A and B are shown apart, each in its own frame.
Chain A
Amino acid sequence: MDTESTYSGYSYYSGRSRGSHRHGERSRDRHKSRSKDSRSEKSVTINTPPAEPLLGDSSVRGEPVQDDNWGETTTAVTGTSEHSLSQEDIVRITKDLEDSVGLDCRRYFTLTLAVILGLLVFLTPLAFLVLPHVLWPEKLQSCGTACEGLFISVAFKLLILLLAVWALFFRPPRAGLPRVFVFRALLAVLVLLFVVSYWLFYGVRILDAQDENYQGIVQYAVSLVDALLFIHYLAIVLLELRQLRPYYSVCVTRSTDGETKHYNLGQLSIQRAALAVIEHYYCDFPVHNPALLSASKSRAAKHLAGLKVYNVDGPGNNAAAAGLAQSQSRAMIAAAARRRDTSHNELYYEEAEHERRVRKRRARLVVAVEEAFTHIKRMQEEEQKKTPGDVMDPREAAQAIFPSMARALQKYLRTTKQQHCHSMESIQQHLAFCVTNNMTPKAFLESYLCPGPTLQYSKDHWRSRQWTLISEASVTSGLKDGSVFNLKCVDFNLVVTAKKIPYIQMSEEYIDPKSHKFVLRLQSETSV
Chain B
Amino acid sequence: MSYVPGQPVTAVVQKIEIRKLRQGERLILGFSIGGGIDQDPLQNPHSEDKSDKGIYVTRISPGGPADVAGLMVGDKIMQVNGWDMTMIKHFHALQKLTKPNEEVVRLLVTRKSLETAVKGAMGLH
Contacts and interface: CB of A to CB of B under 8 A. Distances in A.
Interface of A: 520-528
B31 A524 contact: no
B31 to A, nearest CB: 6
Nearest to A520: B40
B98 A528 contact: yes
A522 B40 contact: yes
Interface in B25-45: 28-34, 38-40, 43
Given A526-B32, A526-B94, A528-B32, 12 more contacts: A520-B40, A521-B43, A522-B39, A523-B39, A524-B39, A525-B32, A525-B59, A527-B59, A527-B61, A528-B29, A528-B94, A528-B97
Contacts of A527: 31-32, 59, 61
Contact of A525 (B38, B58, B97): B58
Interface of B: 28-34, 38-40, 43, 58-59, 61, 90, 94, 97-98
Contact of A524 (B59, B61, B90): B90
A524 B93 CA distance: 12
A523 B59 CA distance: 15
A528 B31 contact: yes
B55 to A, nearest CB: 10
Contacts of A524: 34, 39, 90
5 contacts: A522-B38, A522-B39, A523-B43, A528-B29, A528-B33
B40 A521 contact: yes
Contacts, number: 36
Nearest to A521: B40
Contacts of B58: 525
Interface majority SS on B: helix, strand, loop or mixed?
mixed
A520 B40 CA distance: 9
A528 to B, nearest CB: 5
Contacts of A528: 28-33, 94, 97-98
Interface majority SS on A: helix, strand, loop or mixed?
loop
A202 B36 CA distance: 98
Contacts of A522: 38-40
Contacts of B32: 525-528
A525 B97 CA distance: 14
A523 to B, nearest CB: 4
B33 A525 contact: yes
Given A521-B40, A521-B43, A526 B90 contact: yes
B115 to A, nearest CB: 25
Contacts of A525: 32-34, 58-59
A346 to B, nearest CB: 53
A524 B39 CA distance: 7
A521 B40 CA distance: 6
Contacts of A520: 40
A521 B28 CA distance: 28
Contacts of A521: 40, 43
The 3 closest A-B pairs by CB, nearest first: A527-B32, A525-B34, A523-B43
A526 to B, nearest CB: 6
Contacts of B97: 528
Contacts of B94: 526, 528
Contacts of B61: 527
Contacts of A523: 34, 39-40, 43
Contacts of B59: 525, 527
A446 to B, nearest CB: 61
A524 B35 CA distance: 7
A521 B32 CA distance: 19
B92 to A, nearest CB: 12
A245 B20 CA distance: 67
B38 to A, nearest CB: 7
B36 to A, nearest CB: 8
Contacts of B30: 528
A528 B39 CA distance: 17
Most buried by A among B29, B38, B43: B43
A525 to B, nearest CB: 4
B50 to A, nearest CB: 13
B66 to A, nearest CB: 8
A522 B53 CA distance: 12
A20 to B, nearest CB: 75
Nearest to A526: B94
A524 to B, nearest CB: 6
A80 B17 CA distance: 96
Nearest to A522: B40
B12 to A, nearest CB: 24
A522 B38 CA distance: 8
Nearest to B66: A528
A22 to B, nearest CB: 67
